[in-house]
Structure 1
Amino acid sequence: MRVSQINVDKDMKIIDLINQFDQSGVLGAGRVARACNILTDMINDEEMRVFMSLGGPLIPGGMRNIITRMISEGHVDLIVSSGANITHDLVEAFGGSHYRHEGKDDEELNQEGIGRIADINVGSDDFTIFETEIIKIFEKISKDKKTLSIQELLYEIGLLVEDENSFVAQAARNNIPIFAPGLIDSMIGLQLWIFSQDHDFVVDAVADMHYLSDIVFEAEKVGAILLGGGLTKHYTLASNVIKGGLDAAIQITMDRPEAGSLGGAPLEEAKSWAKARCGSSLASVVGDVTVIFPLIYAAALDRIGSD
């Protein structure tokens, strides 16, 4: 099949551009189009449970409203998040913000109490508010519950968060479970450890596997949206080994495969481990999640709306 040259027209919609990518079918354009096609099919397939993994600074990077919308629209059934994305979601839920980096020297930022993530700044005052508010929530939860899984803890936190733009809150209200296997490696994990020093309050990470395995076994099919790599990607893949692997998946990552990291591994590699089924629909896109995923999700919404 010939490579079609990409056309760009005045006033064209995002879906029109993605369709041009699809007709080209090669290089980054082809991979983005295939990811959009698979994402649309996953959302439209009523028998498929869609898992989403959130790795990297997605909430500080402006992806919060998109994730929250996917939850409220029923386009995702389960989330695996880093502790950092949960923390930053709650920072905003408690009134904090993330700011554009204005180019100051990092030692100067340190003196001003500002932390930097690439070109994103977060103030220590916002984290102070976060620490105060999350301890209040831990206090409320621990009055009735002494031992919880991580997923149960995040559900209880979500019920107590009033910000409707919070993905943690929306997940709780829509009964979408959030798993965070690396929760302790974050500010919320640090506050949880501090709280547990003088409270009878235990979070059992192993208990999550009972609930997660039930979800996998009961699903007719499982698809995955893997944003970023690392632990959240692996937890999503590995949880499906028990049933032969994912039926469909897309991943968007900036990681490269040469060093053998999981984050840079193409999804085809997962077939060798039975983390993705042989014959499954897979697409790996090398690029910035904050650019590519909004494009393909917007195009998928156009397609879903026109069906």
Structure 2
Amino acid sequence: MKVNQINVESNMNVSDLIDNFDASGVLGAGRVARARNILVDMIQDKDMNVFMSLGGPLIPGGMRNVVSKMIKEGHVNLIVSSGANLTHDLVEAFGGAHYRHEGKDDEELNEEGIGRIADINVGSDDFTIFETEITKIFEKIASKRKVISIQELLYEIGLLVEDENSFIANAAKNNVPIFAPGIIDSMIGLQLWIFSQDHDFTISAAGDMPYLSDIVFGSEKVGAILLGGGLTKHYTLASNVITGGLDSAIQITMDRPEAGSLGGAPLEEAKSWAKAKCGSNLASVVGDVTVIFPLIYASALDKINSD
């Protein structure tokens, strides 16, 4: 089959552009189109539960509203998040913000109480407010529960957060469970440890497993949207080993496979571990999630709404 050249027109929408990628079918354009097509199939398949993993600085990087929209639209049924993305969601929920980096020297930023994430800045004042507000929430939850799983904790936090754009709040309100196996490796984890020093309050990581396994066993099919690599990707894949692996998945990552890391591994490699089923529908895209996934999701919505 020949390669069709990509055409760009002045009146073209994002779906038309990715249809052109699909017709070309090669290199990165073809991978993006394949990921879009798989995402459409996952969303439209009413027998499929869709898991989403959030690795890397996606919330400070501008993906907060996208994740919340997917929850509200019923396009995702379970989330596995890094502790950092949870923290940054709550920073904004408590009135803080993320700012564009203006090129200042990092030592100067340190003096001004500003932390840098690539080209994103976060002020220490916003984290001070975060620490105060999350402690108030912990106190409310600890008054009812002495031992709680991570997923249950995040559900309770979500019910107490008043922000229509918070993905934690939207997940709680729409009964989309959030799992965060690496929650301690974050500012929210640090505050949990500090709080536990003078409160009878224990977080059970193993407490998540019965509920998670029930969801996996109760799913006729499971699809996955893997944004970034690392722990969140592996937790999503590994949770489905008990049923022979994922039925469908897309991943977007900047990691490369040569070093042998899971983050850069193509999804096909997961078949050897039974983390993805033989015959499963998979697509791996190498690129920046904050660029590629909004394009894919916007195009998928256009496809779905035009059917």
Assess same fold via TM > 0.5. yes
The SS at the match of 2:262 is coil
Paired position in structure 2 for 1:166 = 166
Per-residue CA distance 1:100-159 (angstroms, 9 max, x = gap):
000000000000000000000000000000000000000001111111100000000000
Paired position in structure 2 for 1:2 = 2
Per-residue CA distance 1:43-93 (angstroms, 9 max, x = gap):
000000000000000000000000000000000000000000000000000
The SS at the match of 1:80 is strand
Q: Does residue 205 of structure 2 align to residue 223 of structure 1? A: no
Q: Kindly state the Cα deviation for residue 178 of structure 1 after the two structures are TM-superposed.
A: 0.1
Taking the TM superposition and a 5 Å limit, the aligned residue runs for 1:76-225 are 76-225=76-225
Q: Kindly state the Cα deviation for residue 36 of structure 1 after the two structures are TM-superposed.
A: 0.2
Per-residue CA distance 1:156-203 (angstroms, 9 max, x = gap):
000000001000000000000000000000000000000000000011
AA aligned opposite 1:190: L
Q: What is the aligned length?
A: 307
Paired position in structure 1 for 2:235 = 235
AA aligned opposite 1:84: A
Q: Kindly state the Cα deviation for residue 275 of structure 1 after the two structures are TM-superposed.
A: 0.1
The SS at the match of 1:215 is helix
Rounded Cα–Cα distance in structure 1 between residues aligned with 2:139 and 2:216: 33
The SS at the match of 1:168 is helix
Q: Kindly state the Cα deviation for residue 304 of structure 1 after the two structures are TM-superposed.
A: 0.7
Rounded Cα–Cα distance in structure 2 between residues aligned with 1:292 and 1:35: 10
Q: Does residue 47 of structure 2 align to residue 50 of structure 1? A: no
Rounded Cα–Cα distance in structure 2 between residues aligned with 1:3 and 1:236: 35
Paired position in structure 1 for 2:258 = 258
The SS at the match of 1:60 is helix
Q: Kindly state the Cα deviation for residue 11 of structure 1 after the two structures are TM-superposed.
A: 1.4
Rounded Cα–Cα distance in structure 1 between residues aligned with 2:305 and 2:148: 40
| Consecutive unaligned residues in structure 2, runs of 5 or more | none
Rounded Cα–Cα distance in structure 2 between residues aligned with 1:71 and 1:43: 12
Taking the TM superposition and a 5 Å limit, the aligned residue runs for 1:25-64 are 25-64=25-64
Paired position in structure 1 for 2:75 = 75
The SS at the match of 2:301 is helix
AA aligned opposite 1:200: D
AA aligned opposite 1:210: P
RMSD after superposition: 0.3
| Consecutive unaligned residues in structure 1, runs of 5 or more | none
Rounded Cα–Cα distance in structure 2 between residues aligned with 1:51 and 1:144: 29
The SS at the match of 1:169 is helix
Paired position in structure 1 for 2:281 = 281
AA aligned opposite 2:70: M
AA aligned opposite 2:105: D
The SS at the match of 1:279 is strand
Rounded Cα–Cα distance in structure 2 between residues aligned with 1:134 and 1:44: 37
Per-residue CA distance 1:202-245 (angstroms, 9 max, x = gap):
11000101100000000000000000000000000000000000
Rounded Cα–Cα distance in structure 2 between residues aligned with 1:41 and 1:207: 32
Paired position in structure 1 for 2:301 = 301
AA aligned opposite 2:81: S
The SS at the match of 1:224 is strand
The SS at the match of 2:42 is helix
Paired position in structure 2 for 1:246 = 246
Which segments of structure 1 move beyond 2 Å, counting only runs of 4 or more? none
Structure 1 length normalisation: TM-score?
1.00
Rounded Cα–Cα distance in structure 1 between residues aligned with 2:146 and 2:174: 24
Q: Percent identity?
A: 83
The SS at the match of 2:116 is strand
Structure 2 length normalisation: TM-score?
1.00
Paired position in structure 1 for 2:12 = 12
Per-residue CA distance 1:24-55 (angstroms, 9 max, x = gap):
00000000000000000000000000000000
